Chain A
Amino acid sequence: MRPLINRYILCIAILSIVFLQISSAIPPLPSEFYGNIQIDEKPAQVGLMVIAKLDNKECGNITVKKEGIYGGESTFDQRLIVSCGDVPVSGTVTFWVNGNCADKAAVLSAGSSQKIDLNVRTGNKAPSIVVTPGENENIFSNSVPTKKATFTVIPIIVSILLICIFMRRKL
């Protein structure tokens, strides 16, 4: 009898995982970037747009409001917000100005705020340095669970299985 019970328990576990995986995830917190920016060694001009890409998909942008600076460090300063909905919270963020890639990229860390000074060279299409976040925690990659929700049918299925088990045991 015990192997049979173990088989049912295994089925329950598999079904639960299936249902859990098809449900949506908690949206991870955005990442924030700010710092100095130069275009071909010169401070970026006001009005230029800095675009952040994750896997070649634009995930945020910011306009240079002060020459040579994108975003600020004060609490209510505007910063480059990188948010891709509930897509994976890992990856490398690249920074682009007028189709040219900045020398630095950043490892995405949900909820992090990083000061990264960028240098954009004309014709550059890939970063040469990848910056990892400092002590900023990534609560979305470490927490359990972070991306799971359940359907209400799961308890029903579990109940049916338990009844089956109970009846089999009686038999």
Chain B
Amino acid sequence: MRKTVARTGYNDILNILILITLASLFIIINGNAVSLFADNLSTDLHGTVNFKIQDMSDIEEKSIIWFFDGHVDVNNNGKSSLDYVFNHPGDYSVLARYKAKNDEKGGETNAIRIHVNSPQFKLLVPDSTTLISNTKFTALSLPQGFNIAWDFGDGSFAKETVASHSYIKPGIYSINATFYDIFNNEFMLSRQIKVYPLAKWYEKILSVNSTSGGQVKFIDDSPGSVSGWLWNFGDGESSTEKSPVHTYKRLGTYSASLIVTKDGLTSTNENEKNVVIFNSIEEINVNPVQPEPNTPVTVSVDIADDYKDKVNYIRYQWGDSSPDEYGTQGPDFQSSHTYNWEAIFTLTIVSYAVGSSDPIDIVKIPIKVYKKTTPSSDFEAIPKQNGVAPFPVKFKVKLDEKGSNLPTGYVWNFGDGSSLSSEASPLHTYEKLGVYTVDLWTTNEKGNSNTTKNGFILVGDPPNNPCDFTAIPDTVYPGEPVQFIDTSIAEHNSNYWSFGDSSEDNSNEMNPIHVYKSANPEGYNVYLNIYKDGRIVGTSPIKKIIVKQREKNDSNFYLLLKPGWNLVSTPLKLAKGFDNIERLFKNTDMESHSVFQYNPVTGWKVMKGTDILHPLDAVWVYSNTTTNVDLYFENRQNIIQTDKNLTEGWNMIGASGVESFSVTDFLSQLQGNWTTLYYFDADKRAFQAILKNSIGNAKVNPGEGYWIYANGQGTIKEINIT
């Protein structure tokens, strides 16, 4: 039973479906009896599509009405076939309605969907440009029938396919390009362009000074309203001011540039250019450099080559209330003036261009007008007298407050065997450790001067500790001086030296000289404490100074001076600090007599206290009493053989070595080129002659001086010194 009921249900459903299908087929056959065809289902804008009703046998031809997207095209009604031009892009549904010949109701064709393509547009627009530069904007593809309208975003427009435009303000602009045709089709493309600011500037030189450089005003001339500036002046300095004033410390040519910003955009244009800071006034020569009152001073103004045809006249402002003076004789100028009183005057030289009252240059120089005195030869070492090798030292002459003792000529002897210098303030580097004596000879129109500073420059070894020192020499004989040099690098302002021999002899000097009286082959322990404002800041390592026992001939040598004149010499090179005349004879009562030396060419020379007694030199010394003069010799390992040149005529020479030896051996160096040797017998107070041809066993004795008559040039060397 159940099976029968189920079959009946399925059959009913199938029957209903069959009925629906048949009804639909009927409707289709009766309602759409005519078909419409198109030759293309898509076309470009302004393209043509052919539509055709396939079977016109049952249709009244005049009844045909064409519908394009629901709109009737009246121009083509009644046509069974037509070519239709689509002038707007989009999708169109096309069909035709008609009346059948045997049916009053009529019908309509099937609808055909036509797609009309939109046109393709392309633009060539740069992403960025620079202010005021002519920028090109191009429409790369412009379909037929279309025109273009450009909107540059800054209120400017153009209609060319290839348009040009310049922006006058930096910023980011939107560019709209509108394509249109006569059918009111409009298409718009948009782009963005960054318009970078443009940096422009110029400079104005405010002043130029040969010593202090030049002052220049940099003026921003950038178009548009920029909001940020970055100046590079070419000397390592910069500024963010709009129009800064910059001072160049030295004359020269500088490459300056400017970067400007606006709304986050930074200028990229090349604008670097040279700023030339040179005087039109190249040089001013004042002669004399330091004039005296009531003495004419000549001022010569040299004009730089580049300005020779520009500078027309010079104004001299003398600075002493006298009227200004004008010089009009170029290309270089000269004038003279007399200052009437002592002062430092400021001479102002102003150069002017042809037909202009604006100065090109204003140069001011001080002129010291003082009564001259003999030149100073006192000097100082900058920054200090002691250091470590290589030790660069700047030497400078000390002048009085007025500078009236300014030398005009200089001869420096740095004491290290280097060549002499004629510079006013030479910079000299001592390459080796040692104790150096510095000599300076100066001259000016008032006279000459000479200063010798013994042991002035002290050069030690590089320190191994913050507190350290060097001893020169570190091995001596009793009685020989040792120079101690503080080489500490730790900052300090006072010292304490312990020399290891006697607490009484300890020193607070910065660089003391110490003489050990007794031998100590094991060595004396020396150390240095350094202090800063009274507080100890360092202690050096302990170093040993070996004081060797003197051998037979190393014992303290002394010259025995008898009352009256004595002709003496030193047997060996004397130790530094113990070799000058003042030190040697400080205990000798000379009774207002000078110490004399003789040169056959220049004659008698009065020895100054700072003059050195060298080996082979002899001097006349007067003593009021019998006196011993102690001699301290240079450490023998440091002795270099000395020689002495003899000139034709009478020469004074000293004996060589600490032992007597034969005259023959001594003077054989002259190869017979001498005649007579005199020595002064201090006991008999008389000269004794030794003739060349009757020398016999005559000897030269240490410490004695001799007159020798040389027949020509000759040289004797120290012998018997080891």
Contacts and interface: CB of A to CB of B under 8 A. Distances in A.
A139 B593 CA distance: 14
A150 B691 contact: yes
B440 to A, nearest CB: 18
Interface in A1-49: 23-24, 26-27, 29-30, 32, 34
A152 B693 contact: yes
A106 B686 CA distance: 24
B565 A29 contact: yes
Contact of A27 (B650, B676, B686): B650
Interface in B610-659: 620, 622, 649-650
Question: Which residue, of A76, A113, A155, has the highest number of chain B Cβ atoms within 10 A?
Answer: A76
Interface string A129-160: 00000000101001111101111100100000
A137 B685 contact: yes
A162 to B, nearest CB: 14
A111 interface: yes
Given A32-B593, A76-B609, A113-B592, A142 B685 contact: yes
A46 B135 CA distance: 89
Contacts of B687: 26, 139, 143-146
Contacts of B592: 32, 34, 73-75, 77, 79, 113, 115
Contacts of A144: 686-687
Contacts of A113: 591-594, 622
A56 B692 CA distance: 39
Interface stretch (B250-258, B278-286, B302-310, B596-604): B596-604
B594 A79 contact: yes
Contacts of A143: 685-687
Contacts of B565: 29, 111, 137, 139
B436 interface: no
B608 A27 contact: no
A34 B693 CA distance: 44
B112 to A, nearest CB: 134
Interface size class on chain B is: 20 to 34
Question: Which residue, of B585, B590, B596, has the highest number of chain A Cβ atoms within 10 A?
Answer: B596
A30 B596 contact: yes
B180 interface: no
A148 B608 CA distance: 30
Interface in B645-701: 649-650, 675-676, 678, 680, 685-687, 689, 691-693
Contacts of A88: none
A139 B686 contact: yes
A81 B597 CA distance: 13
A85 interface: yes
Question: Which residue, of B620, B622, B649, has the highest number of chain A Cβ atoms within 10 A?
Answer: B622
Contacts of A119: none
B564 interface: yes
Interface string A78-104: 110101011000000000000000000
Contacts of A139: 564-565, 680, 685-687
Given A81-B594, A81-B606, A83-B604, A75 B650 contact: no
Contact of B707 (A26, A111, A115): A26
A129 to B, nearest CB: 21
A86 B585 CA distance: 28
Contacts of B608: 76
B689 A145 contact: yes
B709 interface: yes
Contact of A149 (B595, B596, B709): B709
A24 B693 CA distance: 18
B216 to A, nearest CB: 53
Contacts of B649: 24
Contacts of B650: 24, 26-27, 86
Contacts of B60: none
Report whether over half of chain A's contact residues are helix, strand or loop; otherwise say mixed. Answer: loop
B603 A75 contact: no
Contact of A142 (B676, B686, B692): B686
A29 B707 CA distance: 12
A140 to B, nearest CB: 9
A137 B564 contact: yes
A83 B689 contact: no
A79 B592 CA distance: 9
A27 B603 contact: yes
A83 B650 CA distance: 15
Given A76-B582, A139-B564, A149 B686 contact: no
Nearest to B564: A137
B620 A29 contact: yes
A152 B649 CA distance: 15
Given A76-B609, A137-B565, A155-B693, A83 B680 contact: no
B565 to A, nearest CB: 5
B343 to A, nearest CB: 23
Contact of B598 (A24, A27, A32, A81): A27
Given A32-B594, A145-B687, A75 B585 contact: yes
Contacts of B590: 75
A157 to B, nearest CB: 12
A79 B609 CA distance: 14
A63 to B, nearest CB: 9
Nearest to B692: A152
Question: Which residue, of A74, A81, A115, has the highest number of chain B Cβ atoms within 10 A?
Answer: A81
A85 B678 CA distance: 18
Contacts of B675: 23, 149-152
Interface in B554-582: 564-565, 582
A81 B675 CA distance: 29
A152 to B, nearest CB: 7
Interface string B697-712: 0000000000101000
Nearest to A143: B686
Nearest to A71: B592
A74 to B, nearest CB: 8
A155 B692 CA distance: 10
Contact of A81 (B604, B620, B678): B604
A71 B622 CA distance: 18
Nearest to B611: A76
Nearest to B685: A139
A79 B686 CA distance: 26
A139 B649 CA distance: 20
A135 B680 CA distance: 20
Contacts of B620: 29, 111
B676 to A, nearest CB: 5
A139 B567 CA distance: 12
A135 B282 CA distance: 68
B371 to A, nearest CB: 12
Per CB-CB distance, the 8 closest pairs between chain A and chain B, nearest first, are A143-B686, A73-B592, A76-B609, A113-B593, A149-B676, A113-B592, A143-B687, A75-B590
Interface of A: 23-24, 26-27, 29-30, 32, 34, 73-79, 81, 83, 85-86, 111, 113, 115, 137, 139, 142-146, 148-152, 155
Given A26-B707, A75-B594, 18 more contacts: A26-B650, A26-B678, A26-B687, A75-B595, A75-B609, A76-B594, A76-B608, A78-B606, A111-B565, A111-B593, A113-B594, A113-B622, A115-B592, A139-B685, A143-B687, A144-B687, A146-B687, A149-B709
12 contacts: A27-B598, A27-B604, A73-B592, A75-B590, A75-B592, A75-B594, A113-B591, A113-B592, A137-B564, A139-B686, A142-B686, A144-B686
Interface of B: 564-565, 582, 585, 590-596, 598, 603-604, 606, 608-609, 620, 622, 649-650, 675-676, 678, 680, 685-687, 689, 691-693, 707, 709
